[in-house]
Structure formats: C-alpha cells, structure tokens
Structure 1
Amino acid sequence: MNLRLLLPWQAIILLGVVEHSLGYMYEYVMDDESVFIDCLDNPEGYPGMGGLFDLSNMTLEMGPDGIHVSGNTTSNWDIEPTDRIEARLAIVHLQRGIWQPTIYNMMSSDFCKCYVDPQQYWYELFPKHVINQEEAREKCFNYKGTVYYLRPYVLKMKVSVPMLLPNGQYRMIFNLFAFDVNNVRRPNGICFEMKGEFFKI
C-alpha cells in the first residue's frame, strides 16, 4: 500500500492546504509504502524519522477519501529544552537520471515559534488535530518523551504551487538542526525524505 503523507510540520509554507490562493493544485503521491526514508546523503550522526518521533502508537490507514490518522506520537529527539530548532526543506526532481534542485526550498530559523500558529499553512495538516496543543506549543520538539495526542482525522495531501511542475519523481528532503544557547549547532540533527510524484488535479 502506498501512503500519501505529510510530516507533522509539513513542507514549510510552499506546500500545504491552501484554500484561497492562486496557482496550480497538485496531489503528492508517495511511491514507498514506508513513507519516510533515510536521506540518500545522510550526514554522519543524523538519524531519520525514528530519531524525531516514535510513530509506533500512530495508526495510518489508506482510505478512498485520504489517510485516516489516529493515535499518538512521541518525541524522540535528544536535545535540550533551551535549544533553537532550525527547519529546512528542499525538493529535488529526477531529470535524466540525476537529482536536480528546484526552486522549492524553505528555511525557518526558529521553527518552534510558528509551528502551532493557526495562520500558518501547515496548521490544518497536523497541529490543529493535537489535543494537548498548549503542551505542544510550550515543548515543541525539545522535550524528549513528549506525547502528542491526536483527534482522529483524514489527511489529504493537496498542494498549491505557483507554476506547473514537470512530470517525474521528486524527493522532499527534510532537515532539522538544534542550536544550543551559544548558537552552536548540535551534532545530532535530523534528516529524512519522502519520495513520490506530483499529479495535477
């Protein structure tokens, strides 16, 4: 079964549920049933999704109307509560056997300040459905062992982009970096990918 899924912090601004924006609407279809894969060029010491979240208590089931999500997920990242988290997204496209960069790149230098903000595009995709939102807002991903309890919901991955996308395979590459109070980057960043294709709808 192929799952179509976005991350809890979802594709930073450029990708999200956009109800009133101009552009072209696409659906992103995963081609790997494991959903999250390790980065092809994973830096040493950087775990994949398992280093960020324990998803063993989250249920993801494909239905005709989208992904049915229920259960809870637990923060696994071993960093400090005072750390600043920087988030980066890069989307690359396979052209003639070579992965080429696209214009779709984004960085949030202080991700924890905005990831539970209802004004952000990704809010509808995960944070809105967290029952313990105040705890999620306060602890972000900085407190290992924090449990995010979810109301059951249906996730549909539809994205809006300003221009037509070439056909073919894409990789969404996600990186999270933690910086200590002296602004020194910790060695245990997070890197994982989602591989699939965009289909115009």
Structure 2
Amino acid sequence: MLKILWFTLLSYQLTIVLATDYELLLEDPDIFSPCTEGVPGSVGIGEIFDLSQIEYNQDSDVIHVSGNATTTWDIQPTDRIAGSFAIFHNERGNWEPTVFSMSTQDFCSSMYNADSYWYKSWTKHILNKNDVQSKCLNTPGTLLVHEPFDVQLIIYNVRGSAQGRYKVVVTLEAFDEKNMRRETSLCFEIRGEVEKLKKKK
C-alpha cells in the first residue's frame, strides 16, 4: 500500500522540466496509522489483517517487505467491497485534498487487475493469487503469500516544490446483499514528510 502514495505523488507532479528529486521520511515507524477522521466504525489495518507474519525492514531509502498476511475481517463472502484512497497535503495545520484520489465500488474486481494501482503497488506480489483471487478480502482466514519486495522511498524528476507533510488515506467498506453498509470498515493512513533529496558531493 505504501507504493500507492509514491505512485500517486509521482503522477501528481512528474515532469522532465526543472525536475528535482524528493525523499519520503515516514512519520510512523509502523508505516500504517489509524485514520484521524475515519468513517464511523472504521478500524485500523491490524484489525482487518493478521500481520504477525509480515516483516518491514527499512534500509536507508528502501523498505524491504516480506511474509504472509491473513484476512480477519468478519464479513461475508457475498459482500461487495468499495475501496478508495486519497492524497492530502498539510497546509498550515490543516489536511487539504490534492487533485489525486481514486475509488472503486467493486474492489474485488480490481484487486488483481494488472492495470489497477492496487495491483501495481501490492497484489502483484501475492504468490498464491490463483488460489485466493476468488476470496478477495471478504473471506476470513484467507492467507495471502507475498514474495519479498522493495518499496522505494524516493521519487525522481518532480516539478516545482513537493516538500511538506503528506498522507494517503485508504478506506475499504463492505456492503451486504441488500447494499447496507457493514458496521466495520477499514481506514488507515500513511503519513510522511517529503524533503528535497540532497545531492551527493
């Protein structure tokens, strides 16, 4: 999920003219933070997934990710999941929306779509996707086996100034067969400081 923030910041300001490189300094060493303004009934990522077998190791400007995650969301396999993420920039103490956000009313249909941000940033690294694709995230006990992968914390060739605090807010909501929203939803944030990368002498 961390790559989502990076891909979207890149597409938000990327150009080859007057370009500068930037580094993301994570605010929370655990990467994922609870939402400060989540929808009612929202919980953090640790209450939707068992992440006890996932390891994150930061090495300078790279985060190495490995291990497995198990879904624990207490919803039904027939539920529809709506997903969204949005990037915010902190301006004078207030989180202001940027131009970049994305949502889908059927997350399960895009979870393993090779053209989706979800796939490019996360699910392409799930090794057993052929076995679990039909289970999405609405089947508790589904084991997602990940290949080791790296998350780069540098973006290159950014036009103008992108410095300051940013956050990406990710939300997943489940709806039953009557299209009624389930009481428990997922909402988490990835927050960090974007700083101009110092040129090596």
Please tell me whether the aligned partners of residues 32 and 45 of structure 2 are also in contact (alpha carbons under 8 angstroms): yes
Moved more, 186-195 or 27-36: 27-36
1:125 deviation in Å? 2.9
TM-score w.r.t. the length of structure 1 is 0.81
1:29 deviation in Å? 3.1
1:148 deviation in Å? 0.6
Distance 1:140 1:91 in 2: 24
**Cα shift readout 1:136-190 (whole Å, capped 9, x = no counterpart):** 3111101111111112222224568996554211121111111111111111111
Question: Does 2:67 match 1:71?
Answer: yes
In terms of fraction of residues, the more helix-rich structure is 2
Matched to 1:128, the amino acid is K
Aligned partner of 2:86 in structure 1 is 90
Matched to 1:115, the amino acid is M
Q: Please point out which of 120, 124, 134 is paired with 1:138.
A: 134
Q: Residues 15 and 127 (structure 1 numbering): CA distance in 2 closer, same or farther, change over 3 Å?
A: farther
1:94 deviation in Å? 1.2
- Aligned-partner SS, 1:145: coil
Question: Does 2:161 match 1:181?
Answer: no
Aligned partner of 1:39 in structure 2 is 35
Matched to 1:136, the amino acid is V
Distance 1:158 1:107 in 2: 25
Q: Please point out which of 48, 53, 77 is paired with 2:49.
A: 53
Q: Residues 172 and 45 (structure 1 numbering): CA distance in 2 closer, same or farther, change over 3 Å?
A: same
**Identity, % of aligned positions:** 36
- Aligned-partner SS, 2:28: coil
Aligned partner of 2:14 in structure 1 is 23
Q: Residues 65 and 174 (structure 1 numbering): CA distance in 2 closer, same or farther, change over 3 Å?
A: closer
Q: How many residue pairs are counted as aligned between the two chains?
A: 192
Question: Does 2:122 match 1:126?
Answer: yes
Distance 2:46 2:80 in 1: 20
1:14 deviation in Å? 3.7
Q: Residues 65 and 37 (structure 1 numbering): CA distance in 2 closer, same or farther, change over 3 Å?
A: closer
- Which structure 2 segments of 5+ residues have no match? 16-20
- Aligned-partner SS, 1:55: strand
Q: Residues 103 and 124 (structure 1 numbering): CA distance in 2 closer, same or farther, change over 3 Å?
A: closer
Q: Residues 26 and 84 (structure 1 numbering): CA distance in 2 closer, same or farther, change over 3 Å?
A: farther
Distance 1:65 1:94 in 2: 22
Point out the structure with max Rg over C-alpha: 2
TM-score w.r.t. the length of structure 2 is 0.81
In terms of fraction of residues, the more strand-rich structure is 2
How large is the RMSD of aligned CA atoms in angstroms? 2.9
Distance 2:179 2:156 in 1: 34
- Aligned-partner SS, 1:57: strand
